[in-house]
Amino acid sequence: MPRDRRPIVDPQLPGGRGDGLGRPLVLGPVRLRNRFVSAPMERNYCEIDGSVTSRYVEYLARRARGGAALVFAEAAYVRADGKGRLRQLGVDMDARVPGLARLAAAVRAGGALFGVELNHGGRTAQGAVSGFQPVAPPPSRACPPVVNCRASCRPGRCTSWSKRTRKARAAAARRAWR
Ligand SMILES: Cc1cc2nc3c(=O)[nH]c(=O)nc-3n(C[C@H](O)[C@H](O)[C@H](O)COP(=O)(O)O)c2cc1C
Protein backbone atom coordinates (compact mmCIF):
# COMPACT_ATOMS: atom_id res chain seq x y z
CA MET A 1 0.00 0.00 0.00
CA PRO A 2 1.42 3.46 -0.84
CA ARG A 3 2.93 5.15 2.22
CA ASP A 4 0.40 8.02 2.34
CA ARG A 5 -2.58 5.62 2.09
CA ARG A 6 -1.60 3.56 5.13
CA PRO A 7 -4.04 4.04 8.03
CA ILE A 8 -2.41 5.72 11.01
CA VAL A 9 -4.25 3.33 13.34
CA ASP A 10 -2.55 0.10 12.42
CA PRO A 11 -4.61 -2.90 13.60
CA GLN A 12 -1.34 -4.66 14.41
CA LEU A 13 -0.40 -2.02 16.98
CA PRO A 14 -1.64 -2.23 20.56
CA GLY A 15 -3.83 0.85 20.04
CA GLY A 16 -5.59 -0.80 17.13
CA ARG A 17 -6.71 -3.82 19.12
CA GLY A 18 -9.23 -2.01 21.25
CA ASP A 19 -6.96 -0.61 23.95
CA GLY A 20 -4.91 2.59 24.29
CA LEU A 21 -5.36 5.15 21.54
CA GLY A 22 -7.35 2.67 19.44
CA ARG A 23 -10.20 2.59 21.95
CA PRO A 24 -13.43 4.30 20.94
CA LEU A 25 -14.36 7.40 22.93
CA VAL A 26 -17.91 8.39 23.78
CA LEU A 27 -18.43 12.12 24.39
CA GLY A 28 -22.10 12.67 25.15
CA PRO A 29 -24.01 11.90 21.96
CA VAL A 30 -20.81 11.60 19.93
CA ARG A 31 -18.81 8.41 19.48
CA LEU A 32 -15.25 8.62 18.18
CA ARG A 33 -13.90 5.43 16.64
CA ASN A 34 -10.52 5.97 18.34
CA ARG A 35 -8.60 8.73 20.16
CA PHE A 36 -6.87 10.30 17.15
CA VAL A 37 -7.98 13.82 16.31
CA SER A 38 -6.72 15.85 13.37
CA ALA A 39 -6.33 19.32 14.90
CA PRO A 40 -7.46 22.48 13.12
CA MET A 41 -4.66 23.68 10.88
CA GLU A 42 -4.54 26.75 8.71
CA ARG A 43 -3.96 25.56 5.16
CA ASN A 44 -5.08 28.39 2.90
CA TYR A 45 -6.54 25.88 0.44
CA CYS A 46 -9.89 27.66 -0.05
CA GLU A 47 -10.92 30.18 -2.68
CA ILE A 48 -10.09 33.82 -2.04
CA ASP A 49 -13.80 34.39 -1.36
CA GLY A 50 -13.70 31.79 1.46
CA SER A 51 -15.48 28.98 -0.36
CA VAL A 52 -14.41 25.35 -0.37
CA THR A 53 -12.14 23.88 -3.06
CA SER A 54 -11.67 20.30 -4.21
CA ARG A 55 -8.11 20.54 -2.96
CA TYR A 56 -9.32 21.26 0.57
CA VAL A 57 -11.97 18.52 0.41
CA GLU A 58 -9.33 15.99 -0.59
CA TYR A 59 -6.90 17.27 2.05
CA LEU A 60 -9.35 16.67 4.89
CA ALA A 61 -10.69 13.43 3.39
CA ARG A 62 -7.16 12.00 3.42
CA ARG A 63 -6.94 12.63 7.15
CA ALA A 64 -10.17 10.72 7.64
CA ARG A 65 -9.03 7.83 5.44
CA GLY A 66 -5.77 7.84 7.37
CA GLY A 67 -7.64 6.75 10.48
CA ALA A 68 -8.36 9.87 12.55
CA ALA A 69 -11.68 9.71 14.38
CA LEU A 70 -12.36 13.44 14.27
CA VAL A 71 -11.08 15.77 11.58
CA PHE A 72 -11.22 19.51 12.16
CA ALA A 73 -11.23 22.10 9.42
CA GLU A 74 -8.97 25.10 9.91
CA ALA A 75 -10.06 28.12 11.95
CA ALA A 76 -12.94 29.42 9.83
CA TYR A 77 -14.01 33.06 9.99
CA VAL A 78 -17.51 33.63 11.31
CA ARG A 79 -17.80 37.17 10.00
CA ALA A 80 -16.14 38.85 7.03
CA ASP A 81 -14.27 41.39 9.19
CA GLY A 82 -12.68 38.54 11.16
CA LYS A 83 -10.82 37.12 8.18
CA GLY A 84 -7.09 36.84 8.68
CA ARG A 85 -5.77 34.92 5.69
CA LEU A 86 -6.32 35.25 1.98
CA ARG A 87 -7.59 31.70 1.34
CA GLN A 88 -9.17 31.04 4.71
CA LEU A 89 -12.36 28.97 5.01
CA GLY A 90 -15.47 31.09 5.62
CA VAL A 91 -18.58 30.16 7.64
CA ASP A 92 -19.86 33.70 7.55
CA MET A 93 -22.96 33.26 5.39
CA ASP A 94 -25.58 30.70 4.42
CA ALA A 95 -24.08 30.34 0.95
CA ARG A 96 -21.26 28.40 2.66
CA VAL A 97 -23.51 25.51 3.65
CA PRO A 98 -23.17 23.41 0.45
CA GLY A 99 -19.36 23.66 0.66
CA LEU A 100 -19.36 22.69 4.33
CA ALA A 101 -21.66 19.77 3.48
CA ARG A 102 -19.14 18.66 0.85
CA LEU A 103 -16.35 18.70 3.41
CA ALA A 104 -18.47 16.85 5.97
CA ALA A 105 -19.52 14.19 3.43
CA ALA A 106 -15.94 13.56 2.32
CA VAL A 107 -14.68 13.25 5.90
CA ARG A 108 -17.57 10.98 6.87
CA ALA A 109 -16.94 8.80 3.82
CA GLY A 110 -13.48 8.25 5.31
CA GLY A 111 -15.07 7.05 8.55
CA ALA A 112 -14.42 10.14 10.68
CA LEU A 113 -16.51 12.90 12.18
CA PHE A 114 -16.08 16.44 10.92
CA GLY A 115 -15.53 19.50 13.09
CA VAL A 116 -15.29 23.21 12.28
CA GLU A 117 -13.30 25.64 14.38
CA LEU A 118 -15.21 28.91 14.61
CA ASN A 119 -12.96 31.92 14.56
CA HIS A 120 -13.05 35.68 14.48
CA GLY A 121 -9.57 37.07 14.03
CA GLY A 122 -10.18 40.11 16.24
CA ARG A 123 -6.90 41.93 16.59
CA THR A 124 -5.20 39.39 14.31
CA ALA A 125 -7.68 39.91 11.43
CA GLN A 126 -6.11 41.51 8.37
CA GLY A 127 -7.79 44.55 6.89
CA ALA A 128 -5.79 44.12 3.69
CA VAL A 129 -7.30 40.65 3.29
CA SER A 130 -10.86 41.18 4.54
CA GLY A 131 -11.41 44.69 3.20
CA PHE A 132 -12.67 45.74 6.65
CA GLN A 133 -11.04 47.67 9.43
CA PRO A 134 -10.13 45.11 12.12
CA VAL A 135 -12.15 45.36 15.33
CA ALA A 136 -11.24 43.90 18.69
CA PRO A 137 -11.85 44.53 22.38
CA PRO A 138 -9.79 47.35 23.84
CA PRO A 139 -6.30 46.06 24.48
CA SER A 140 -5.13 44.97 27.88
CA ARG A 141 -1.70 46.16 28.95
CA ALA A 142 -0.25 42.96 27.54
CA CYS A 143 -1.66 43.51 24.03
CA PRO A 144 -0.50 45.81 21.28
CA PRO A 145 -2.86 48.72 20.50
CA VAL A 146 -5.66 47.90 18.04
CA VAL A 147 -8.82 49.52 16.85
CA ASN A 148 -11.22 49.75 19.80
CA CYS A 149 -14.85 48.95 19.19
CA ARG A 150 -15.99 51.24 22.00
CA ALA A 151 -13.70 53.70 23.67
CA SER A 152 -15.65 53.58 26.95
CA CYS A 153 -15.02 49.85 27.49
CA ARG A 154 -12.56 48.74 30.10
CA PRO A 155 -9.41 47.02 28.83
CA GLY A 156 -10.11 43.35 28.10
CA ARG A 157 -13.85 43.70 28.91
CA CYS A 158 -15.87 44.92 25.99
CA THR A 159 -19.51 43.94 26.18
CA SER A 160 -20.53 45.25 22.76
CA TRP A 161 -17.68 43.30 21.16
CA SER A 162 -18.65 40.10 23.00
CA LYS A 163 -22.31 40.43 22.04
CA ARG A 164 -21.60 41.13 18.40
CA THR A 165 -19.16 38.29 17.90
CA ARG A 166 -21.32 35.91 19.94
CA LYS A 167 -24.15 36.41 17.44
CA ALA A 168 -21.84 35.77 14.49
CA ARG A 169 -20.43 32.64 16.15
CA ALA A 170 -23.90 31.28 16.88
CA ALA A 171 -24.99 31.82 13.27
CA ALA A 172 -21.80 30.16 12.00
CA ALA A 173 -22.33 27.19 14.34
CA ARG A 174 -25.82 26.68 12.92
CA ARG A 175 -24.39 26.68 9.39
CA ALA A 176 -21.68 24.18 10.29
CA TRP A 177 -24.31 21.96 11.94
CA ARG A 178 -26.42 21.86 8.79
C1 LIG B 1 0.41 24.77 10.03
C2 LIG B 1 -0.41 24.87 11.30
C3 LIG B 1 -1.62 25.52 11.26
C4 LIG B 1 -2.40 25.62 12.42
N5 LIG B 1 -3.63 26.22 12.36
C6 LIG B 1 -4.41 26.23 13.45
C7 LIG B 1 -5.74 26.72 13.37
O8 LIG B 1 -6.25 27.11 12.31
N9 LIG B 1 -6.46 26.73 14.53
C10 LIG B 1 -5.95 26.26 15.72
O11 LIG B 1 -6.67 26.30 16.73
N12 LIG B 1 -4.72 25.75 15.79
C13 LIG B 1 -3.95 25.72 14.70
N14 LIG B 1 -2.72 25.15 14.76
C15 LIG B 1 -2.32 24.50 16.02
C16 LIG B 1 -2.64 23.01 15.90
O17 LIG B 1 -4.04 22.80 15.78
C18 LIG B 1 -2.17 22.23 17.13
O19 LIG B 1 -2.82 22.67 18.27
C20 LIG B 1 -0.70 22.38 17.34
O21 LIG B 1 -0.05 22.06 16.13
C22 LIG B 1 -0.21 21.45 18.46
O23 LIG B 1 -0.60 20.15 18.16
P24 LIG B 1 0.07 18.92 18.87
O25 LIG B 1 -0.17 19.12 20.34
O26 LIG B 1 -0.65 17.71 18.33
O27 LIG B 1 1.50 18.96 18.50
C28 LIG B 1 -1.95 25.05 13.63
C29 LIG B 1 -0.71 24.40 13.64
C30 LIG B 1 0.02 24.30 12.51
C31 LIG B 1 1.35 23.56 12.56
| The pLDDT of residue 70 | 96
Angle at 10 between CA 37 and CA 44, to 5 degrees: 35
Residue nearest to atom 25 of ligand 1 (CA): 39
pLDDT computed for residue 113 by the predictor = 96
Q: Which residues contact 25 (CB under 8 A, 6 or more apart)?
A: 31, 32, 34, 35, 69
Q: Write down the mean pLDDT value for the chain.
A: 84
Which pLDDT tens digit goes with each residue over 107-152? Answer: 999 999 999 999 999 888 999 999 998 877 766 655 555 555 555 5
Determine contact, residues 155/140, Cβ cutoff 8 Å: yes
Q: Which long-range contacts (CB under 8 A, 24 or more apart) does 40-47 make?
A: 40/72, 40/73, 40/74, 40/75, 40/115, 40/117, 41/72, 41/74, 42/74, 42/75, 42/85, 42/88, 43/74, 43/87, 44/85, 44/86, 44/87, 44/88, 45/87, 46/87, 46/88, 46/89, 46/90, 47/87
Label residue 10 by pLDDT band (50, 70, 90): low
Question: 141 C-alpha to center of ligand 1: Å?
Answer: 26
* Per-residue pLDDT, 13: 44
Give 123 Cα–ligand 1 centroid separation in angstroms. 19
**74 CA closest ligand 1 atom index:** 8
Atom 28 of ligand 1, residue of closest alpha carbon: 41
Is the predicted pLDDT of residue 77 greater than 90, yes or no?
yes
Tell me, which fold does domain 3-132 have in CATH? TIM Barrel (3.20.20)
- For residue 64, the CA-to-ligand 1 centroid distance in Å is 17
Closest atom of ligand 1 to 75 CA is 8
Quote the CA–CA distance of 117 and 77 in Å, as a whole number.
9
The predicted model scores a pTM of 0.82
Q: Which residue has a Cα nearest atom 4 of ligand 1?
A: 41
pLDDT reading at 162 higher than 90 = no
Q: What residue ranges line ligand 1, CB within 6 angstroms?
A: 39-42, 74-75, 117
